[in-house]
Amino acid sequence: MGVEGGERQKRHGLVRRAALVHRRASRLDPVVRGLMWSASAGLLFTVLNTTMRVLAQELHPFQTQFLRYLGSLLVMLPFVARAGLAAYRPNKITSHFSRGAVHTVGLVMWFSALPAISLADTTAIGFTGPIFIMLGAAWFFGEKMRWDRWVGATIGFAGVLIVVAPRLTGSGGAYTLLMLASSPVFAASFLMTKALTRTERAPVIVIWQAITISIISLPLALPVWQSPNTFQWIAFLICGMLGAAAHYCLTRSFTVADISATQSVKFLDLVWASLGGWLVFADIPNRSTLIGGVVICASTLWIARREARGSTRL
């Protein structure tokens, strides 16, 4: 009984501490919470992309794309079984399939261009996404385009260019245009996710994203199918967990704040990627990476303080 009582006290202590953290977080300004959710999503996506980079070198990108979302679906099934199917029944199933189709188009364009474009070019093109999202948020949702949000995004993008500009090649030709075209497609997908948060809970959005993209990606994966080995299956399940958690964080950020307010944090992904490259691949950051990282972090901290003060002046 003494041991069991001690274990119960430990569990109760953990529950109390978790509740305390939740209460403190709930007191934060909604936009700051949105920034924190978005930053967490970026960190998870960086770990996910590092793992996917290895898998994409071993299997065809279309098969990798399918198995990554199938992995997310498999790891979420226990949650569905526990809560029941009714808890994950969507209110607008057509909207989920439309969003899945748009996101799949972006994935196909991205993966098709990826082998022909340098890493620096890929990074620079990928960070045009926040600009398209901010424009779309103003056009479709009527979000206020405050000057500080644009300044934060501009400075963050400048930090990215400091890092990648010395390595830009521009040798991708038509593939560069194809990858650039994927940015507004992904932006449209995220804007559709923002719209879904008005009627759906974040777990419902995440699991139906996995369902729809798995279904739509399967016909692309079958013609190039190779049997994954045990290690690859385990890796895809890990990717599934990372992807589900990342999209959950991203969806929560869309739920609590304007989508335009969270875009400056996107540029932190380059900092996470540099740290990941250093820790996993022993890629030592050079001077431009360090300077760009400082600019990006400064931009993120500045916009977070602006949003915390709740400035409404244009």
pLDDT of residue 311: 47
313 domain-assigned: no
Secondary structure of 126-138 as H, E, C letters: HCCHHHHHHHHHH
The verdict on residue 64 lying in a domain is: yes
What pLDDT score was predicted for residue 72? 93
Q: How far apart are CA 129 and CA 263, in angstroms?
A: 9
Question: Does a structural domain hold residue 156?
Answer: yes
Q: Quick check: is 25 in a domain?
A: no
Question: CB–CB of 189/55 below 8 Å?
Answer: no
241 closest CA partner among 82, 75, 120: 75
Q: Please count the structural domains in the chain.
A: 1
For residue 93, tell me if it sits in a domain: yes
Domain span at 276: 30-308
pTM over 0.85: no
CB atoms within 10 A of CB 282: 7
- Biggest alpha carbon distance in the chain? 71
Q: Is residue 134 part of a domain?
A: yes
- The reply to whether 16 falls in a domain is no
Q: Are 73 and 207 in contact (CB under 8 A)?
A: yes
User: How high is the mean pLDDT in each 10-residue block of the chain (314 residues)?
Assistant: 52 49 58 84 83 81 91 92 91 94 91 68 70 79 74 76 66 74 90 91 93 95 93 93 92 84 74 71 67 73 65 44
Q: What is the pLDDT of residue 119?
A: 57
Domain contains 85: yes
Task: Give exposure, 88-108, as e/b (b: 16+ Cβ within 10 Å).
Answer: bebeeeebbbebbebbbbbbb
